Chains A and B, each alone.
Chain A
Amino acid sequence: MKIKKIKKDIYSLEKEERMNISPKIFANQEIINTLKRDELKNQNNSLNQLKNLSSLPGLKGVVALADIHPGYGAPIGSATASDLREGVITFASTGFDINCGIHSLVLPITAKELNKKKKEFAESLFKDIPAGVGVGGKLRIDSTQMDELLKGGAEYVVKRGYGKKKDLNFLEEKGRIKKIDVTSVSLKAKERARDQIGTLGSGNHYCEIQEIEKIYDLKSAKKFGLIQGGTFVSIHCGSRAIGHQIGSDYLPILDSAVKKYGININNRDLVCAPFNSEEGQKYFSAIKAGTNAAFANRQVIGVLVKRSFEKVFGLSESEVKTFYDVGHNTAKIETHKFEGKKRKVLVQRKGSTRGFGPNNLAIPKNYRVVGQPVIVGGSMGTNSFILRGTKEAMNETFGSTIHGAGRSMSRSEAISKINGEDLLKKLFEKGIVIKAHSTKGLAEEAPLAYKNIIDVVNTMDLTNISKKVAKLKPIICIKG
């Protein structure tokens, strides 16, 4: 496939065969070289997936970000904008882990102070946050309550005593997407989620306590309430099994829809339905419900962290500030400019964060003048970053940006090359306390298995899609 350079670190994948649009790729030369090498080696590569994705009908825009790596159907680190009448809603562009994202807090103590009780805090968090396979949460939800939760999102769990109303101002969509038809979610999906709200899950999900190691942009950091040497919490997880079950339920429905509406897809991975069809609307409603479940889940875990903090440090949980919550596997209706005209589109982000520029009303009031906070999660033991959205992102990527480092090594390759116990020791020597439910599973998430996050972040900074505000260094990491 032909990649054309537009300007430094911005490329386009040239239109060919059935492609309806030419996607833009935001990546440095090294990432581009890796994509090209991968194209020759593997059939299931990011460029091929990007090409297939760009062949869907009704697309207004397709972008790939610097953390791009192969997913199923759509690459992870990509976003699409589709026309509401002509376009489709695609399974692969949101995936099974609906509204996986990061919920974050600012602790009212310095890293120095926190380090004094590091081990105790790690033990307490490990005990207080349910994680790992087969572990349920304390908050039980019966079937009537489940419908309330799916409609109410984080707002619902606040009513159940998890957090304060003011926390909601600092969540994307205020923690609740409206207009949900709860019948779009199967009883099976609801049953699967009953004991999972307030649980971290497993795999790459984590809760990390971090030091604000460096500030790049003092003015924005001040608006965000971040100071060098301060402490930050990132909670990375999603809608858990309800999202997985919604995905499993809709795969065959969308598979039939492709045949029913005669949609030309290059690969079965890309099953979809016209957005305007009955199937498309139902699936969209189910995604919104899953999105609310994820907001609720992260809000509960955020409160568990606050309570754990209060227990260990003796400071009230109300002194811990909810910083922001942003999802990276989403489907939403947003207004963006295409060919000079503002229009409503369906934006699907897969492994991509919303990163709106300054003065957008969707951004919490306190942050609005500098742009939306974007929390970029590192791999275990590496830095994470706080960026801010820009005007350029609104013009070039319909307000979409990176979500993390992106994998560079498969899980089995990581397991064969990395020993979990050794890794734990090395990170411990670096002063990072890791508490994990599976040591074997740790190897899969080792820093070596991911791209260098600094390169990924710098690419977005250089292209002005998201600007660096602060760098975070891990102190404690609780793994599922």
Chain B
Amino acid sequence: MFETFEHKADIGVRGKGNTLESAFEECAKAMISVMLDIDSIEPRKSHVIKLKSSDESNLLISFLNELLFLKDTKKMIYSKFRVKIEESAFENNLKEFTLKATCFGEKIDLKKHDFLVDVKAATYSQLRVVQEDKIFVAQCIVDV
């Protein structure tokens, strides 16, 4: 499930799921829902995002920011996501996380997509990627 949470000047986005991947998918939906009604986006086209990072939280921020980059440059907006995350370990305790996300959505059509507000970026503020009991949580504040 996804939800938004309070912040005085901006807004928080949170995704929860049984896996880390589903928490990421839900968090992305939460961010899209800040901008517009997510149900108004039809999953007509797909696009694959591949990203790498040294930790899961930076990976979440990069993933969300990549969706914003695609919105501004390709004018594409997505509503469904299939995320895969792989962890590889190296010497000296170094880790690398790889994300592959297949995103489903369509080109922005202002007649159909009624934007409430634009999201500028995902931030480190209240950034958490954790497992609580059996549930994975991925959240941060987004700048609007």
Show the binding face of A for B, using Cβ within 8 Å. 42, 44, 69-73, 76, 95-97, 132-135, 188, 191-192, 194, 196, 201-203, 241, 243-245, 247-248, 251-252, 255, 268-269, 271, 407, 409-413, 437-438, 440-441, 444, 480
Contacts and interface: CB of A to CB of B under 8 A. Distances in A.
B4 A269 contact: no
Nearest to A443: B116
Interface string B52-85: 0100001001100100110111010000000000
B108 A255 contact: no
A192 B66 CA distance: 11
B9 A96 contact: no
A192 B71 CA distance: 9
A449 to B, nearest CB: 10
Q: Describe B's contact surface by its main secondary structure.
A: loop
A252 B116 CA distance: 29
8 contacts: A72-B123, A133-B35, A134-B110, A202-B115, A243-B120, A248-B68, A269-B123, A411-B117
B11 A411 contact: yes
A229 B40 CA distance: 46
A244 B123 contact: no
Interface of B: 4, 6-11, 35, 53, 58, 61-62, 65, 68-69, 71-73, 75, 108, 110, 113-118, 120-127, 141, 143-144
A413 B117 CA distance: 15
Nearest to B74: A191
B69 A203 contact: no
B71 A134 contact: yes
A384 to B, nearest CB: 19
Nearest to B127: A268
Contacts of A72: 10, 123-125, 141, 143
B116 A438 contact: yes
B125 A44 contact: yes
A78 B105 CA distance: 40
B65 A248 contact: yes
Contacts of A76: 9
Contacts of B72: 192, 196, 241
Q: Which of B7, B68, B114, B117 has the most CB of A within 10 A?
A: B117
Nearest to B55: A255
B117 A96 contact: no
A268 B124 contact: yes
Contacts of B71: 133-134
Nearest to B120: A244
A134 B75 contact: yes
Contacts of B114: 438, 440
A10 B8 CA distance: 24
Given A72-B141, A192-B69, A252-B58, 7 more contacts: A42-B8, A70-B7, A132-B115, A134-B108, A203-B120, A244-B68, A411-B117
A244 B143 CA distance: 9
A441 B116 contact: yes
A269 B127 CA distance: 9
Ranked nearest first, the 5 interchain pairs of A and B with the lowest CB-CB distance are: A72-B125, A133-B115, A248-B65, A202-B118, A244-B120
A70 B115 contact: no
A227 B120 CA distance: 38
A42 to B, nearest CB: 8
B8 A203 contact: no
Contact of B117 (A73, A192, A202): A202
Contacts of B9: 69-71, 76, 407, 410-411
A53 B117 CA distance: 29
A244 B8 contact: no
Nearest to B35: A133
Contacts of B62: 252
A248 B121 contact: yes
Contacts of A255: 58, 124
Given A72-B10, A134-B71, A440-B114, A412 B4 contact: yes
Q: Which of A134, A407, A412 has the most CB of B within 10 A?
A: A134
